[in-house]
Amino acid sequence: MTTAQFDCQYCTASLLGKKYVLKDDNPYCVSCYDRIFSNYCEECKEPIESDSKDLCYKGRHWHEGCFNCAKCNHSLVEKPFAAKDERLLCSECYSNECSSKCFHCKRTIMPGSRKMEFKGNYWHETCFVCEHCRQPIGTKPLISKENGNYCVPCFEKEFAHYCSFCKKVITSGGITFHDQPWHKECFLCSGCRKELCEEEFMSKDDYPFCLDCYNHLYAKKCSACTKPITGLRGAKFICFQDRQWHSECFNCGKCSVSLVGEGFLTQNKEIFCRKCGSGVDADNK
């Protein structure tokens, strides 16, 4: 390039002896360069001229003096920072405003440090420990109890019950039958092996039975309707000699009046109220 040709690419003014800026191998006077190519500062909205430092973050630009924390206004130049809702914050302000608090020690979990999450709460990794052995749980299996979290070995040692059927640890749920713990899936009818945890059941010789099996195997039959007498939910029944009746079935064999609490007469397998049975050769009861 000859001296006669050394002119500003935009305004063609001679650049001899003047300050200039090269852009794509083309020279520009400072004034033209700043007007055409300068970025605008996100903070002060003024152009960042060629003699100023242009700090860029994710396509946005700042003067060096404008590159500050949006909350405390301290400079972020050559310091760690984080973005929150388009704002730039120093590490301390970001931690105070945005970081989680440890459920155990209540202190801020600093950005970049490992945190543990459980049931919507957060812990420092070193604070998320077994309540018994105080060792960090990390990502190992755990069991939660009212007063804290436990690693599985400590929970089994301190609290666990063992199923009366399979002899394995009951870690959650379960039911109690005759003061003995059972897994829900292990509490089965002693007859048909159906699960009983959501069913009504009866007990015989300390063994549980579903109603169908109990009625089939053990229940007395009503002398009137011949259906099983279970006594469930406080149902009342009448016994006389070797016979039984549902309370609602204990009626006069002739007029059907209820005999519950009343005197009655019997003849063979029949029962009668006193009125109906007065003409019958019957035993007075």
**What's the rounded mean pLDDT across residues 228-254?**
79
> What pLDDT does 74 receive?
93
261 or 180: which leads in pLDDT: 180
The CATH 2.10.110.10 portion of the chain extends over 20-93, 97-159, 174-217, 231-278
**What's the rounded mean pLDDT across residues 45-51?**
84
> What pLDDT does 234 receive?
57
Q: Which CATH number fits domain 231-278: 2.10.110.10, 3.90.850.10, 3.40.50.2000, 2.40.30.10?
A: 2.10.110.10
**What's the rounded mean pLDDT across residues 67-71?**
92
197-200: which pairs have CB atoms within 8 A and are 24 or more residues apart? Answer: 200/232
**Does 5 score more than 70 pLDDT?**
no
**Does 199 score more than 50 pLDDT?**
yes
Q: pLDDT digit string (tens) for 96-126?
A: 776 778 888 988 777 667 888 888 888 898 9
**Does 57 score more than 50 pLDDT?**
yes
Lowest mean pLDDT among 128-137, 180-189, 221-230: 221-230
136 or 277: which leads in pLDDT: 136
What distances in angstroms separate CA 120 from CA 92, 116, 126, one per listed residue?
24, 10, 18
* Bridging pattern class, strands 169-170 and 161-162: antiparallel
280 or 88: which leads in pLDDT: 88
> What pLDDT does 282 receive?
47
Hey, what CATH topology would domain 20-93 get?
A: Cysteine Rich Protein (2.10.110)
Determine whether domain 174-217 maps to CATH 1.10.10.10. Answer: no
> What pLDDT does 189 receive?
92
pTM of the complete model: 0.37
**What's the rounded mean pLDDT across residues 216-245?**
78
- How high is the mean pLDDT of the chain? 83
Query: Cα Rg for the chain, rounded, in angstroms?
Result: 45
3 or 154: which leads in pLDDT: 154
Hey, what CATH topology would domain 97-159 get?
A: Cysteine Rich Protein (2.10.110)
**What's the rounded mean pLDDT across residues 180-186?**
90
Q: pLDDT digit string (tens) for 145-154?
A: 877 899 988 8
**231 band by pLDDT with thresholds 50, 70 and 90:** low
**Does 1 score more than 70 pLDDT?**
no
> What pLDDT does 62 receive?
92
